[in-house]
Structure 1
């Protein structure tokens, strides 16, 4: 066993994002935050790369479901990270009877080390 943890902000930022669900919002987010390096892999692994300190941020601007994110989000939170919706509130689980989406659908989110957005994300 070896402990994992989100890394501190360095001079170069690395993101993990979706290749199959790429959106203009994701490209804009990466540009706005000066992120040049981006690795495309599955959703759960994206959370884990941030948790392990191998990536800085996972922005998601397309649909996921809670079963896509719950395990990876739990690992990230245990490693000192957080997943927040675009309004800054934590991503929650058990979402039912949503007026504009299906049960258990997630809104867009940003997963990163705790304080990433307020602590110099760009």
Structure 2
């Protein structure tokens, strides 16, 4: 199952263009726990003063849609954004975060399920 997810993510990555200069970080095979459980990327240091991140969903398994949001060490700093495969979404912060701040992305299965789902994609923490 993970091999299939990885191959799908890599194939999609070759087809999707990226913005010049964008520093996308890949995430592959991230578990979206049952019953709307949350999962998170690692923290990343912002390199710009932009108050948003950009997330591209490349593969979903076990669900057709997932929710994503931005967090700092104090918790959520954005609304939840619902995404499907192929979506590139700008996740806007509800607070100012300048370069040097630590940001991570949260995620959950948007569908109520008793089993895990999986997601792969790329995020530009800016």
Name the TM-score, length of structure 2 as normaliser: 0.29
Greater RCO (Cα-Cα under 8 Å, separation 6 or more): 2
Q: When you count helix as a share of all residues, which structure comes out higher?
A: 1
Q: When you count strand as a share of all residues, which structure comes out higher?
A: 2
Name the TM-score, length of structure 1 as normaliser: 0.30
